Structure 1
């Protein structure tokens, strides 16, 4: 099978810093290329060559600047070529245009969030026309599928869920010696109990709620400290967070925007990971990374997060996620009940190994595409009488 994957126009593949969609594309493509021929089209970047090849994986990078320019360059790069299947990630409009140019090739839209299927990015009416054009819509969680069905009930039969994964060899528990080395590298104290947040510095991620929660938890455990890894979009929010932490007396270290190729090191700095999201998360890749890294995870009980974390089995889910006190209680419990927390972390690592590897994601995707191609061929044979 020759699979074409078309990435969004904003971030190159692989991403230089962060970009969860591009991380997913690159990780899945590398695994798929062990079984099939894979071509990825992404935006160009000064650090990358126009075309790179490794085994059965080819990445073609084209000019961007606007959605229109990028799509035009994608069509130019694919003109005259044939593929068994085309996957477009997170851009319904692109998928519809690609289907128009490749009417006989199955086209799937791999959705990573609701961002580009509702206002302000697209009207429901306009997006509905785009979704009607594609053959299949892949979602990364049942929660995302449910939300999409609520917006577009006619698309229900097009949906297929495939969970995301992580690199198990890279995201793994660290020895005490390795943790001390990493803490020296990032200038993080070995004293106290380190709580980690990884993600964008934006309001919906709930970082102010986390800072408040740590402040409350420090009344029981004064040694609690907060680590924040991630870049801000726009200016001012990081300074707001710093002021809040200072006002509440929460020892907080901002690690900055860590390239994903190094982000596994950051998990080795912490004793606990907290994901305080305040709005729907389709999947929550950082939780899987933290679980694979052997950290006890506390996360908002929202969206696809609860499909990965089972409360008090492999992590802790916070139903009252808008209430800092709810997070504070769980932070105190994880810090005080060491044996219990270690049990959660151990179970989490085991569950991730079974369900959430990139190998499993790629295999599920390849199996789904293969079955649909076989069904398409059988239908053709039945209709034409040819073999």
Structure 2
């Protein structure tokens, strides 16, 4: 590979709404790297991340496709877009972009294509039948379509190999985090707790996740109700898309378990690092994950986690968190109470430094960026061109 030429990498993704894959893409392409030029192609519109990407100097192409309704004209337009951009490497993100974008790239004459698997695959059929079908179909095409397949987690790699994905093409690159953004803020903690009518002594748990069957909010809400029987002053914050009073199924759950008055619903927010700082404990209640960003983000803000044993969640927390089986509210409640007891007896500054240090040492953004760059260089080999 020539050293005097930037690698042009075109990233294809179905949309730029708020989600784990989108946040990792944003961190990757906005990292200052003099050797790589990034261009992002969204099948849909600008979503949430489009404007911040452009503000950071990243070129963004929006194709205006209707989600779930790809037409032949859309596919032809995508192929023409790729030919016009003439990338050295094409990096796709998630199943729809992997298969559709990969096929368009191949038809455009490109062969340096890296797929991006961002989901463990566990219980995927329950969450999105479309994504599940694309994932299984992609297993067949993986033998010849992508040159490399980048997984966000070991658990994801293992399950996708079982689904027929080409094992010799798979590499795991774990997510990295911008610790300058994800950091504890005591002023934010005090301000938000005051806004919510809480004192510094009020025990507060939270979960940052959109309303989705895989996040299993039912599990968390049941566990929260059980915890309240032992600690009535406990409160819970829920953050994410549809985590608000306008979501009837959510409100029915809160009412059913008698926790509505003790739950703080925030919906979509852009100040999640500050919200994390206000928590004593973050709880991941999911039945399936790949490499759950939110766990490491909480730790970067000095907040320990109780997590279900899904994806690489247990690997992320290591010895600095608590792990329980998925779909078991009683065990989740028990670990939440155990964790709160430990937090109460431990110096909060020492605990915050300890959990943040694990993220700093194991999951730095620089490490992730370096591993992506090395993978792309290896794909290019000596010729350095995509066609």
Q: TM-score range by the shorter chain?
A: 0.7 to 0.9
Q: Measured at CA, do residues 35 and 206 of structure 1 come closer, stay the same or move farther in structure 2, by a change above 3 Å?
A: same
Question: Of 317, 320, 324, which residue of structure 2 is paired with 1:318?
Answer: 324
- Give the SS at the match of 1:67: coil
Mapping 1:352-363, distance limit 5 Å: 352-363=359-370
* Matching residue of 1:385: none
Q: Measured at CA, do residues 102 and 186 of structure 1 come closer, stay the same or move farther in structure 2, by a change above 3 Å?
A: farther
Residues 1:77 and 2:81 are matched in the alignment: yes
Cα-to-partner distance string for 1:316-336 (whole Å, 9 max, x where unaligned): 1113x3222212222222222
Alignment partners' CA distance in 2, 1:24 and 1:45: 16
Alignment partners' CA distance in 2, 1:125 and 1:190: 49
Cα-to-partner distance string for 1:222-263 (whole Å, 9 max, x where unaligned): 221111112239953222233134x2576111111223xx22
Mapping 1:359-378, distance limit 5 Å: 359-374=366-381
* Matching residue of 2:215: 205
Cα-to-partner distance string for 1:176-220 (whole Å, 9 max, x where unaligned): x43112333556554510111110123331222222222222333
Q: Measured at CA, do residues 217 and 79 of structure 1 come closer, stay the same or move farther in structure 2, by a change above 3 Å?
A: same
Displacement of 1:120 in angstroms is 4.4
Question: Of 193, 200, 204, which residue of structure 2 is paired with 1:183?
Answer: 193
Cα-to-partner distance string for 1:320-362 (whole Å, 9 max, x where unaligned): x322221222222222223458565433211111222332211
Displacement of 1:146 in angstroms is 0.3
* 8 Å Cα contact 2:184-2:274 kept in structure 1: no
Mapping 1:333-344, distance limit 5 Å: 333-337=338-342, 338-340=344-346, 342=348
Displacement of 1:54 in angstroms is 4.6
Residues 1:273 and 2:287 are matched in the alignment: no
Residues 1:328 and 2:330 are matched in the alignment: no
| TM-score using structure 1 length | 0.83
Residues 1:67 and 2:77 are matched in the alignment: no
Cα-to-partner distance string for 1:76-103 (whole Å, 9 max, x where unaligned): 3223432211111113322431332343
- Give the SS at the match of 1:218: helix
Question: Of 111, 130, 145, which residue of structure 1 is paired with 2:157?
Answer: 145
* Matching residue of 2:12: 6
- Give the SS at the match of 1:219: helix
* 8 Å Cα contact 2:8-2:37 kept in structure 1: yes
* Matching residue of 1:101: 107
* Matching residue of 1:381: none
Q: Measured at CA, do residues 125 and 54 of structure 1 come closer, stay the same or move farther in structure 2, by a change above 3 Å?
A: closer
Mapping 1:192-341, distance limit 5 Å: 192-232=202-242, 235-245=247-257, 247=258, 251-259=262-270, 262-277=271-286, 279-310=287-318, 313-319=319-325, 321-337=326-342, 338-340=344-346
Cα-to-partner distance string for 1:16-70 (whole Å, 9 max, x where unaligned): xx22222221111111645411111123349967x94755x32222222233365
Displacement of 1:376 in angstroms is 6.1
Gaps of at least 5 residues in structure 1 are 378-387
Alignment partners' CA distance in 1, 2:135 and 2:207: 33
Worse overlay, 346-355 or 91-100: 91-100
Worse overlay, 177-186 or 79-88: 177-186
- Give the SS at the match of 1:167: coil
What root-mean-square deviation, in Å, do the aligned CA atoms of Structure 1 and Structure 2 show? 3.0
Cα-to-partner distance string for 1:357-379 (whole Å, 9 max, x where unaligned): 332211110012112322666xx
Q: Measured at CA, do residues 32 and 128 of structure 1 come closer, stay the same or move farther in structure 2, by a change above 3 Å?
A: farther
Worse overlay, 298-307 or 77-86: 77-86
- Give the SS at the match of 1:287: helix
* Matching residue of 2:175: 164
Alignment partners' CA distance in 2, 1:31 and 1:185: 34
- Give the SS at the match of 2:381: helix
How many residues are paired up?
A: 362
